[in-house]
Amino acid sequence: MLLLLCSGSAWGQAPATVEHLGWLSGCWSAVGGEPGSTEQWMAPAGGTMFGIGRTVRGGVTRQHEFMQLRDTPEGVVFIALPSGQVEARFPAERIGPRSAVFHNPAHDFPQRVIYESTDNDTLDARIEGLRNGQLRTIRFPMKRMPCPAGGAR
């Protein structure tokens, strides 16, 4: 019953899809981070959203991550490929109007990936789970920014 309540289908609504996560699309700058420390998400299309994140410290990219949100027969899945690690899949635990929680209890750390936004300009991303037997949460507060133009100059 809990699964039905979380998916919305208990009231005859369709289960959540990637389309419900369109509020995440765009460019986000890390609050307090160096310029270039960003996360960017493409708009939903074809049952997917693609994202990329980059952390800059001392003027050098120190970490990056390629991400996907993908509709599957089992529901929405968050797929992460952080620098220097193997791909990890986190099925949706809960998707709300401006929030999403993805959970993989078998993953080493994190076991949860959470995105929440109270308005169009702020994003609270966080990862949490057990690490060395201790509950740990790492927050990534972000503010919306214009997406860079790129291209030839």
Domain assignments of the chain as residue spans, ordered by start: 15-145
Q: Which amino acid is at 129?
A: G
User: What per-residue confidence (pLDDT) applies to 75?
Assistant: 97
Q: What is the CATH number of domain 15-145?
A: 2.40.128.20
Decide the pairing of beta strands 48-57 and 88-96: unpaired
> Is 20's pLDDT higher than 80?
yes
pTM: 0.88
CB atoms within 10 A of CB 93: 16
pLDDT, tens digit, 9 for 90 and up, residues 60-114? 999 999 999 999 999 999 999 999 999 999 999 999 999 999 999 999 999 999 9
Report how far residue 68's alpha carbon sits from residue 49's, in angstroms, rounded to the nearest whole number: 6
pLDDT, tens digit, 9 for 90 and up, residues 118-147? 999 999 999 999 999 999 999 999 999 999
**Among 79, 85, 122, residue whose Cα is nearest residue 104:** 79
Decide the pairing of beta strands 75-82 and 88-96: antiparallel
